Amino acid sequence: MDNGAEVLFRAHVREAGYESEDPIVKDVVLGVAAGERVGLLGPNGAGKSTIMKGLLGQLPHWKGDIYWHGKEEDVGGIEMSSRIAYIPEQPILYERMTLWEHLVLVAAAGSIPEEIFRERADKLLRRFRLHKVKHEFPVKFSKGMQQKVMLIIGFMIKPELYLVDEPFIGLDPGAVMELLEALDEERDRGAGVLLTTHVLDSAERLCDRFLLVYDGGVAASGTLADIRTAARCGEDASLFDCFVKLTKNAEELT
Ligand SMILES: Nc1ncnc2c1ncn2[C@@H]1O[C@H](COP(=O)(O)OP(=O)(O)OP(=O)(O)O)[C@@H](O)[C@H]1O
């Protein structure tokens, strides 16, 4: 966030988890500037999805503060739901609704005017190659097709911030390219992105900054240069190399 862009979103996750006596995440501070992409990284079970669920107000146990444009907001409040698009790793779909009906529902919930809705929906359905199946039931789609449905729903909203949980696994290369292009367009519009992934070469190309979590806390954060310094890696080291070294160091300390 040192590129001069306005800080769009800032959160201090003091405690987050599923039971108050056993918080999974403790004392994690994160921020996303307008047009910035932040990679939330960490080994399996580190707490990435828990952080995302916490920011969305979907956790039984949460203590923390959230700020939009510097102003404190309630987690899970109505203000937040219109500003954030969450693209989950596991698709969430209604059994008895067609793809088109899902989009109509999203448009109604987001008060998107009819004409804008039709234009956006058509563009996104074509972009992710689902226009020919728009009147079919997505619960019967393949895993990758269902993932594309979640992307289309997210992009329909045109939010200020995208929370994207593991977008790269399961999509075909053409869809990954379309996703990257769509994210570029959204960055140009000023939307921020917080994304989790284990595909570190994609994260390295896509993200401006990174937050590496380990065992529910922050192991390193900053630009790739900062991460290289924290990992004591050379200036040519990849994000993957730094990640392996940092998690190994953290393991040795626990
Ligand atoms: N619904 C739940 N109830 C209780 N504990 C949970 C629940 N979901 C996750 N956990 C626990 O919280 C911890 C962090 O899980 P989380 O899903 O946030 O990890 P992650 O970093 O997203 O992992 P991955 O990379 O494998 O997706 C794990 O120990 C996990 O067992």
Q: Is residue 18 part of a domain?
A: yes
5 has a pLDDT exceeding 80: no
Ligand 1: which of 20, 24, 25 to mutate, most ligand atoms within 8 Å of CB? 24
Per-residue model confidence as pLDDT tens digits over 14-58: 999 999 889 999 999 999 999 999 999 999 999 999 999 999 999
For the chain, how many structural domains are there in total? 1
Q: Is residue 129 part of a domain?
A: no
Phi and psi of 216, rounded to 5°? 80, 5
CATH of the domain at 225: 3.40.50.300
Per-residue model confidence as pLDDT tens digits over 164-204: 999 888 899 999 999 999 999 999 999 999 999 999 999 99
Sheet strands (E) in the chain: 7-17, 25-33, 37-41, 61-68, 71-73, 84-87, 161-165, 192-196, 209-214, 217-222
Q: Is residue 19 part of a domain?
A: yes
Q: Following DSSP, what letter does each residue of 49-101 receive, concatenated?
A: HHHHHHHTT--SEEEEEEEETTEEE-TT-HHHHHHEEEE-SS----TT--HHH
Q: Is residue 185 part of a domain?
A: yes
Q: Is residue 184 part of a domain?
A: yes
Q: Is residue 180 part of a domain?
A: yes
Is the distance from the beta carbon of residue 46 to the nearest atom of ligand 1 less than 6 Å? yes
Q: Is residue 110 part of a domain?
A: no
Q: Is residue 74 part of a domain?
A: yes
Q: Is the whole model's pTM more than 0.95, yes or no?
A: no
Closest ligand 1 atom number to CA of residue 42: 21
Is the distance from the beta carbon of residue 254 to the nearest atom of ligand 1 less than 6 Å? no
Whose C-alpha lies nearest to ligand 1, atom 7?
A: 18
Strand partners, 212: 41, 220
ipTM of the complex: 0.98
Strand partners, 183: none
Nearest 5°: the CA angle 189, 191, 195 is 140
- Residue 77: which domain range? 7-91+159-253
